[in-house]
């Protein structure tokens, strides 16, 4: 878990430098959010979502079909996969 948290902390550095109230993008899920101090748009919640996405991707890589591509963790990735499979 430490490696994942180190990666997330590094990817969130730019978001942390952004003033509160500004539009930001989660660097893992690519979801947009307005940076807030607490509540749904808090950095802690965004990091939690990023951890969950990376853990799901890792689980799928280990337990999913051997020939499957990496599990997409963003809506954009889901649509790209649908387009490629369609």
Q: What residues have CB less than 8 Å from 51, skipping those under 6 apart?
A: 1, 4, 5, 8
pLDDT in tens, 29-81: 999 999 987 666 789 999 999 999 999 999 999 999 999 889 999 888 888 87
Total domains in the chain come to 1
Output DSSP code: residue 32.
E
Range of the domain at 13: 2-85
Residue 83 is predicted with a pLDDT of 85
Q: Rg (Cα) of the chain, in Å, rounded?
A: 14
């Amino acid at each position: 878990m430490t490696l994942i948290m180190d990666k997330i902390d590094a990817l969130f550095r730019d978001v942390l430098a952004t003033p509160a109230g500004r539009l930001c993008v989660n660097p893992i899920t690519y979801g947009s959010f307005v940076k807030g101090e607490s509540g749904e748009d808090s950095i802690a919640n965004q990091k939690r979502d990023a951890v969950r996405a990376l853990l799901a991707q890792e689980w799928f890589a280990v337990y999913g079909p051997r020939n499957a591509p990496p599990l997409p963790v963003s809506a954009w990735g889901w649509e790209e996969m649908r387009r490629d499979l369609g």
